[in-house]
Amino acid sequence: MSWIDRSFPTSATPSDLVGRVLGLNPGMMTGPGTNTYLVGRRDPILLDTGAGVPEYPPLLERYLAQRGWARPSRIILTHRHPDHLGGVSQLRARFRGIHVSKMIFRDTSLPESVQDLRDGQKVEADGATLIAVHTPGHASDHLCYYLVEERALFTGDVVLAGSTTVIPSGDGDLLDYMSSLRRIQGLDVRRIYPAHGPVIEDGPGRIQEYIDHRLMREGQILTALGDGIATIPEMVRRIYAEVSPALHPVAAQSVESHLKKLEREGRASESVVRDAPSLWRLV
C-alpha cells in the first residue's frame, strides 16, 4: 500500500449505525491510517483500536461526546497486527473494565484478558448485529464482521479502499486469502467498511477486482517462470518495472506469496540455494 491522503477526515459518520475515527498513523503501509469504527445507536461497539498513537484516545473521546456517548460497550478486533490492536492498553486505561475480543488463533502474545471470538459468532449492539467471519490469508486470525442491518462488511485488511492487500511472509497465506475472498464474495454484501481508506459503496465490484488482480499477477508469474526467470528479485524487476524501486521489497512479498501458493498447488517448486536467492521452476 503506497497511498497516503493527509486530507482524509479524522472522523466521520458514514451511516446511522456506523461512525469512523482515524487511528492517526499514516504511512506507506497504512495509507491515511487505520480506521476504527463505532457500531450501534447507543453504547456502540468499537471495532479495532489503532496503533496506540497518543493523540488517538482524545480524538475518540471527542467523537463519542459529539454522538452523545460516554464510552464504547466493548472492543472487538479484526486481527493481531499492531496497527489494529496497538491501542488496547490505552483504551483499557481510559475505559476501565472494557471487554476486548478477537479470534485467538496461533497467538504468541496478546494484551491481557482477551476473550475468544469464533467464526459465526454474533456480537450485538443497540440496533446492530455483527457476525464474525473467519477470513485468513493476510493473517491467520483475521475476522471480518458482517453488519446484518446494512448488508455491509467490515473487511479489516482483507479488502482495502486504496490498494491491494499485503500477504506477509510467515503468517500470511495467499491460497487461504483467495479462499477468503471467495467466501466474502458469497455473502450478501452491499457496502464495505475497510480498515484503510474510505467506504467502498460497490462491495461486490471491489471484491471481484481483488480476485481479478491476483489472478492477473499469478499469470504474470507463471509466464516469468515459463521464460526461465527463476528468482524473486528477477521477477520483481520484470513484473514491477513501472513501480518505484522503493516499493520493490513489498512487491517481493507479493511475488513470494504467489510462488508459495503455486507450490502448495503443486504447480511450482523451490530450490534453496545457500547464500543466494532461492530458485523457482514450474512443475
Low-confidence ranges of the chain (pLDDT < 70): 1-4
pLDDT score at 3 = 53
- Give the pLDDT confidence of 2-45 residue by residue, as tens digits: 455 778 999 999 999 999 999 999 988 898 999 999 999 999 99
What does DSSP assign to residue 165? P
Q: pLDDT of 168-189, one tens digit each? A: 988 999 999 999 999 999 999 9
**What is residue 109's predicted lDDT score, i.e. its pLDDT?**
80
Q: Which residue has the cell 517448486?
A: 269
Phi, psi (degrees; rounded to nearest 5) at 183: -65, -50
Cβ neighbours around 179 below 10 Å, total: 13
Nearest to 136 by CA among 181, 195, 193: 181
Adjacent-strand bridge partners of 99 = 74
Amino acid found at 6:
R
Task: Enumerate the β-bridge partners of residue 100.
Answer: 75, 114
- Given this model, what pLDDT does residue 170 score? 85
- Specify the pLDDT at position 234: 97
Domains of the chain: 11-201 (3.60.15.10), 214-282 (1.10.10.10)
- Predicted local distance difference test score (pLDDT) of residue 29: 83
Reported as type and span, the H/E element at residue 138 is none
For residues 214, 219, 222 and 223, what is the CA-based torsion angle, rounded to 10 degrees?
-140
Whole-number pLDDT of residue 1 = 43
pTM, full prediction: 0.94
Cell of 223: 509466464
156 touches 79 (CB < 8 A): yes
Amino acid at 2: S
